[in-house]
Amino acid sequence: MSFRMPNEVFSSLLAATTAFIGGNLLNLPVWGIFIGWAATYLAGGPNRATLTKLWPAMAAGSTFALVIVLLDAEFGTVLGSSTMAKDAVLAVVIFVVNTALMYAGRTRVLALVPGMFCGFASYFATVFGGFGFLPHNPLAAWLSAVLMNALGPVFALIAHAVATRGQSVPEPEEARAVSARDK
């Protein structure tokens, strides 16, 4: 009889490794890993169908958020420097870019709109929280958030592989339907 580490223990051990990824040295937003990891299960579990939907969606969400930050930096004071004027410009920028994000969700590649919002939120938390390898730098925050979100599904795959080692685990019904449709 071989020893199998319980999923709860192995997943916690894997989660603990994020201290070395985002610790003080690199300042990376490790919560992006956990957001991507959780999103993997919310979107259907760690399988090819889920990952091919989730990875591009999260990266696109971070990209739309980057566009908001860059447009706000460029045009944020076009109506003046008062808080109300800057907020009005930001509201317009968010409206326009978020509308584009939502329409992008109508495409096959970006149809997982909640995944885009996972990337969107991860980016804003990274840039405004001062995380990333160059704190408060919009492009460094984008790269940091995209990288951390991309690692989340990898962690989900590793945890799932260890938890189900030696077992035959059926793929969820939704994932089989998506896989069949994508072929």
The mean pLDDT value for 88-103 works out to 98
Assign 66 a pLDDT band (cuts: 50, 70, 90).
very high
Assign 140 a pLDDT band (cuts: 50, 70, 90).
very high
Tokens of 107: 């495409």
Residue 38 near residue 152, CB atoms below 8 Å: yes
The mean pLDDT value for 88-101 works out to 98
Sequence-distant (6+) residues with CB within 8 A of 112 are 43, 53, 54, 57, 105
